[in-house]
Amino acid sequence: MKPASFNYYRPSTLKEALQLLQKYGDEGKLIAGGQSLIPILNMRLSAPEYLIDISGLQDLNFIRVEDGLLKIGGLCRQRSLEQSSIVKEVAPLLVEAVPFIGHVQTRNRGTVGGSLVHADPTAEIPLSLLALDAKVVIQSIGEVREVPVQDFFITYLTTDISPSEMLTEIHVPVDANPRGYAFVEFSRRHGDFALVAAGCLLDTDKEGRIISGRLTLGGVAAVPMNAQDAIDILVGEKLSDSLLEEAGRIASENTDPEGDLHASREYRLHLAKVFTMRAIRKAYERSLKL
């Protein structure tokens, strides 16, 4: 399996990269870490005329906290995210999610931005960033725009990004107070695509009543899903087994998974319930300890 021939450009500045995208975006493809794209090219599922390699744009490889936001460069490696003490402190959900992505050998190359724009509905980073209510910064020649992750994913492998645009940064709001968090996932073998994954964030008061939260599910629809209805019934309450069961039921009922050779629709619905419950319980227990 060898990729089809392509014209190769490796720009050394963001401006050059955006100019190339403006010119060749329609027939071209950006490559950053390449851990999803190169398999696709090797299998010739895609054969772009132009490959624009942005892996040299080191200005886009950063993790920092600024203006109340955790800012992550599009070219930040998944491995850097996993090992970052800053991320562990301000967005531990991400640090819990990243080890589920492929293997350490692919996380050493794979980027955060690449995971977002690839938009696999089972992917861990999109799911976590949706839970964290993050925004992505998208640039083209003459325009910079911000899009909430909530609106970024359109359907399978499709995002609100045009051929002349590049995702350059991710902005995650930093909580004033830490919240309970949990990322849980089920796959047949470690490193496989998730059958179902869930991310949860919960805030509780001193008595252990839930103040607010977020719950997102992956692998159950064409895009990562926000399962807010399941959280809404928990607000103002202490978590009980019956409430947890009810939240799991609601989350599962709101999903619309497709069956495939890895798991039937019914099995995914079942997993959606079970993993919703596990995520909420884990996040709740953690929030009580804060």
Partner 1 sequence: MIKAAKKEKVLVRVQINGKFYEEEAEPRKLLSDFLREECGLTGTHVGCEHGVCGACTIRYNGAAVRSCLMFAVQAMDAEITTVEGLAQDGTRHPLQEAFTECHGLQCGFCTPGILMSALEFLEDHPNPKTEEIKEMLSGHLCRCTGYKGIIEAIEKVARQQNG
Under the binding rule (CB under 8 A), the answer on residue 6 touching partner 1 is yes
Q: Which positions ≥6 away from 40 have C-beta within 8 Å?
A: 46
Measure CA of the first residue to CA of the last residue in the chain; give whole Å: 51
Minimum CB separation of residue 136 from partner 1 in Å reads 24
Minimum CB separation of residue 78 from partner 1 in Å reads 12
Radius of gyration of the CA atoms of the chain, in A: 19
Residue span binding partner 1 (CB under 8 A) among the ranges 101-109, 150-158, 217-225, 244-252: 101-109
For residues 104 and 144, which CB has a smaller minimum distance to partner 1 in the complex? Answer: 104
Minimum CB separation of residue 235 from partner 1 in Å reads 37
For residues 189 and 206, which CB has a smaller minimum distance to partner 1 in the complex? Answer: 189
For residues 48 and 213, which CB has a smaller minimum distance to partner 1 in the complex? Answer: 48
Under the binding rule (CB under 8 A), the answer on residue 261 touching partner 1 is no
Residue span binding partner 1 (CB under 8 A) among the ranges 35-43, 67-75, 203-211, 270-278: 35-43
Q: 192, 261, 257, 187: which is closest to 225 by C-alpha?
A: 257
Burial (0-12, 13-18, 19+ Cβ within 10 Å), 249: middle
Minimum CB separation of residue 37 from partner 1 in Å reads 9
For residues 125 and 200, which CB has a smaller minimum distance to partner 1 in the complex? Answer: 125
Pairwise CA distance, residues 114 & 112, whole Å:
5
Q: Are 27 and 40 in contact (CB under 8 A)?
A: no
Under the binding rule (CB under 8 A), the answer on residue 187 touching partner 1 is no
Q: Are 73 and 63 in contact (CB under 8 A)?
A: yes
Q: Residue from 44, 64, 188, 190 that binds partner 1 (CB under 8 A)?
A: 190
Angle between helices 241-253 and 265-288 (to 10 degrees): 140
For residues 26 and 151, which CB has a smaller minimum distance to partner 1 in the complex? Answer: 26
CA atoms within 13 A on the CB side of 187: 18
Q: Are 257 and 219 in contact (CB under 8 A)?
A: yes
Residue span binding partner 1 (CB under 8 A) among the ranges 115-123, 186-194, 224-232, 262-270: 186-194
Under the binding rule (CB under 8 A), the answer on residue 44 touching partner 1 is no
For residues 100 and 152, which CB has a smaller minimum distance to partner 1 in the complex? Answer: 100
Read off the tokens for 167.
Answer: 């995702």
Minimum CB separation of residue 283 from partner 1 in Å reads 23
What letter represents residue 5's amino acid?
S
Read off the tokens for 196.
Answer: 């179902």
Q: Residue from 24, 28, 29, 35 that binds partner 1 (CB under 8 A)?
A: 35
For residues 34 and 92, which CB has a smaller minimum distance to partner 1 in the complex? Answer: 34
Task: Give SS3 for 5.
Answer: coil
- Sole residue written with tokens 């939260």: 213
Residues of this chain that interact with partner 1 (CB under 8 A) are 1-12, 16, 34-35, 38-39, 42-43, 51, 53, 55, 79, 99, 102-106, 108-109, 189-191
